[in-house]
Amino acid sequence: MNKKYLMMTGISLLTLALIACSNPTAQEPGPDTPVPGTPDNQTEQPASEEQKEEGNTLPYEITTLAAGLNVPWELDFLPDGRMLFTERPGTLRMIENGQVLEEPVLAFEAPFADEGEGGLLGLAVDPDFESNHYVYVYHSYREGQDILNRVLRLKLTGQEASIDKVLLADIPGGVNHNGGRLKIGPDGMLYITTGERYEPDMAQDETILGGKILRIHRDGSIPDDNPINDSAVYSLGHRNAQGLAWHPDTGQLYSSEHGQSNHDELNVIVKGSNYGWPLIEGDEQEEGMTSPLIHSGTDTWAPSGMTFITQGPWQNSLIAGGLRGEALLKFELDGEGGASEEPSLEVLFQSEWGRIRSVSEGPDGTLYLLTSNRDGRGDPAEEDDRIIALRPAK
């Protein structure tokens, strides 16, 4: 097996024979969907077969923080302990004192669009929130017959938010491949992943924002040190990047990206670099283009939101949600700068909770997993969708 293929320390990856497609029988949560409870009555998850085989040695305690959600996409934390999360059909919601508030913080209306993979996607809380109360979101919208995406700055007051400013608009969108991850880097800039809406050549065109990783100031202006003058483009040649994370020690940026049908990627992102789509994938090489640090070979991860763990038993591990792979992906990156030629991969919770859209680390080291089984491609269970909490075991 090629050295860039995964090195497994856990269960083998699930190999699927069919490309996931829309599931018309998936039902959205209705008015009778249970509202998640307080911390005293959160549901404790039974040990999985994997945990039983390993003597239940997982260094985290698993509970269901929230259930009956409508395709949660991203979660972030407010300084006072509250949490915000997006639901793809268009609601920004809040968790306060361990309970999801019934009323959304903000419900998006037209020209908002939530067709296919589009909708209300990325979310980031401003690092200076206590003084400015800013929150950033990425969402799809319609303009005539076109689906586009944009980045908004919101202002949160109490339990309600309002649109403060459009920071970046006219990002190419479509029914599929909208990108949508939104993160604030160690440099204080907003980083944004965009898709190429099934127009592969778009990813190689420096003048188009689709198929890129973008970087802007938090007021929407273009940084002077971006690689292309007066352009938000930070890197190009991406198909549909879904995750962004910075190594806690080195500050190195990594991204996760979906391959065409396999060859999903973990990339080391360098300013101005070209990551090759649609000209190369997997181990293919081309002068002037960057191959992935690791890819899935003929297996499929469909990696999505991810984070480096900064504390606790998995410190410095890179954790990513797997959609079609229906697992949590735990990468160990060794070597100088945290980047190794052969990162190891452990596949956890295979098929335990279905599609995992994203994973976030809370201030106390708790990990929060968002399931995505009501997105039209999953097989939702009665409690879906859920936010699963993994708290470091005492």
Look at 353 and 18; give whichever has higher pLDDT.
Answer: 353
| pLDDT score at 56 | 52
Instruction: Give every CB contact of residue 287 below 8 A, 6+ residues apart in sequence.
Output: none
Give per-residue pLDDT as tens, 310-348. Answer: 999 999 999 999 999 999 999 998 755 556 567 899 999
Q: What are residue 374's DSSP bridge partners?
A: none
Question: What mean pLDDT is predicted for residues 57-71?
Answer: 95
Closest alpha carbon to 277 in 287, 290, 262: 290
| pLDDT score at 93 | 98
The continuous run of DSSP H or E covering 216 comes out as: strand 212-216
Closest alpha carbon to 26 in 378, 387, 386: 378
| pLDDT score at 45 | 58
For residues 181 and 359, give the distance between their C-alpha atoms in angstroms, rounded to a whole number: 12
Q: What are residue 44's DSSP bridge partners?
A: 63
Look at 338 and 109; give whichever has higher pLDDT.
Answer: 109
Model confidence at 18: pLDDT above 60: no
Token digits of residue 112: 């908002």
Cβ 307 vs Cβ 361: under 8 Å = yes
Model confidence at 141: pLDDT above 70: yes
- Sign of the Cα pseudo-torsion (219, 222, 225, 226, in order): positive
Cβ 249 vs Cβ 218: under 8 Å = no
pTM for the whole structure: 0.87
Question: What mean pLDDT is predicted for residues 80-104?
Answer: 97
CA angle 139, 171, 167 (to 5 degrees): 70
DSSP string, 230-292: T--EEEE--SBEEEEEE-TTT--EEEEE--SSS--EEEEE-TT-B--TTT--TT---TT----
Backbone angles phi, psi at 314, to 5 degrees: -105, 25
Which stretch of 175-184, 194-203, 329-338, 372-381 has the lowest confidence by average pLDDT? 329-338
Which stretch of 66-70, 130-134, 280-284 has the lowest confidence by average pLDDT? 280-284
Question: What mean pLDDT is predicted for residues 223-229?
Answer: 98
For residues 62 and 76, give the distance between their C-alpha atoms in angstroms, rounded to a whole number: 19
| pLDDT score at 9 | 38
Per cent of the chain over pLDDT 70 is 84
Question: What mean pLDDT is predicted for residues 74-100?
Answer: 98
For residues 258 and 295, give the distance between their C-alpha atoms in angstroms, rounded to a whole number: 10
Q: What are residue 328's DSSP bridge partners?
A: 321, 348
Mean pLDDT of the chain: 88
| pLDDT score at 394 | 82
Taking the CA atoms of residue 48, residue 49, residue 51 and residue 54 in that order, the dihedral angle to the nearest 10 degrees is 180
| pLDDT score at 261 | 87
Model confidence at 288: pLDDT above 90: yes
Burial 209-237 (b: 16+ CB within 10 A, else e): bbbbbbbbebebebeeebbeeeebbbbbb
| pLDDT score at 39 | 41
User: Taking the CA of residue 125 as centre, how many other CA atoms within 13 Å lie in the half-sphere pointing to its CB?
Assistant: 24
Closest alpha carbon to 354 in 385, 389, 320: 385
Neighbours of 115 (CB within 10 A): 14
